[in-house]
A and B are shown apart, each in its own frame.
Chain A
Amino acid sequence: MIKGIYDSASGMLPRILKQEIYANNMANVNTPGFKKDDIFLEVLTDAVNGSSDRPWQTRMVDGIYVDFTQGSHQRTNIDTNLALEGDGFFVVNTDQGTRYTRNGNFSVSPDGILIDGKGNPVQSDSGPMNVLGDQIVIGSDGIVSVDGSTLGTIKVVDFDRPYALKKIEGTYFVPGDDAAVEKPAEEFRIRQGYLEKSNVNIVEVMVDMLSSFRAYEAGQKAIQTQDKTLEKAVNDLGRVM
């Protein structure tokens, strides 16, 4: 009986973490290049047998993963805004090292280098991308021509296991372990004058939040019911009529 209470409580605890993750997804519903997080729950196999068919019970958080589905594209008409369609990441050089991002909210530095929102240079096939000039045209394959002359190609890379990428502050990603090696992306298209929006879907995240919330509530009811039963056992069982 006591054990049931612990089972129910262990079903409630991951929902709190879930709520935190959903809150972060919702806060970033308008952040370009943002990829939502989701959560793996793990069934405690050594708990009560057959408990896995009761979804509010005995589950633990196994991990949080980044969902890399494509975000929709929003037109901005700014020449240095780039959106990726398909696989791959833009490459940005920062003081802390190479960073990967899907956020193509770029601009031009005073010395004519393509930079991202934090002022870090966007990489081409050969170092920073020079775009000094008046008319910047970037093709779907990433080839940059300024005032009619071709200056380079925007570097777009991919990973064999994109889920091994780790999310860090600033819509950046870094490889999660040393095994992740970048390679040229193949299936992609760059759209100039567009931004890739956050892939958080308001309806979806709302439904997820509600179902998680109700599971949490059900855990509470289960605990309260078991508490009532225990109360009977402790207080009423031995009473003589």
Chain B
Amino acid sequence: MSAVGTGGSTTARRSRRYDRQVTGSPVIDIRALTKRFGSLTAVDSLDLQVAPGEIYGLLGPNGAGKTTTIRTLLGFLNPTGGSVQLLGSNPRHTAVRHRVGYVGGDVVLDRGLKARDLLKWYADLRGGVNPATINSLCEHLALDPTRKIGELSTGNRQKVAIVQALMHEPDVLVLDEPTSGLDPLLQRSVLELIRARRDAGTAVLYSSHFLPEVENLADRVGILRRGVLVREDTMANLREVARQRLELRFAQDVPTDLLTGVDGVSNVEIVDRTAYVLVDGSVAELVKRVAEYDVDRIVSHDEDLEDVFFQYYQDGEDGR
């Protein structure tokens, strides 16, 4: 059971216990989901399951169909084909949504309301939430709930969205790029909260267009491209495919052939005292090779997924 104090009703507690028993069966269950808007197929025959206590990273470039998938999962869009189920039933059922937390892609909350009043309103709709939980979430994220939402910065507005998604200790969390607009420190605080939910048995679907964000968070990752799930794997396996673009700045001149023949390193370019490289998989070999030189800085250019998985995608394209 979660370490955070529970304000839930007995019904909520009972349903949580029920979940314990069915641990392993997916609480997010998307089968053969297809969603078309006119002639555009936004999501194509998507299968995706998330089990209790699992964080699933849904990755893909902008426009890949992540948001459409999530909005269908929440019941905002009707599937053109296939089915979506949350906790074993239709997401439109209000009973299901008692146990779901959601942060949408472009968060817009009523600008005229104070954060506190919006949280109170949503808590009332959920039949009451322990105020202590709300307070501790606000504290954790350094959110001042007495301010009007319209006066908050983008990042602070995002915090309100995160608090409302977490305050009722949901059994399912659906998060559409929840840390966009947050600085790295806050991103970390949010990820901590999400991990804590996972550890309490919550199933988490977390979308991002940015691989490094989910690298240390997700248990499994699916890559969505043009509405198709092109790959689904554990993070460990996927890391091997991912390529990173690194920039190594040396304190001294280095031989131009320093980095030739290093395992996994390609596209080497050395200009003055800076080396630009592309690394497939682990950087261990590269680090060994440069060990005897003074490296001032290593800059990692995290690419959008489109670039990170460029090769993979290209293969997929050729296969068509």
A binds B: no
List B residues at the A interface (Cβ < 8 Å).
none
- Chain A residues in the interface with B (C-beta under 8 A): none
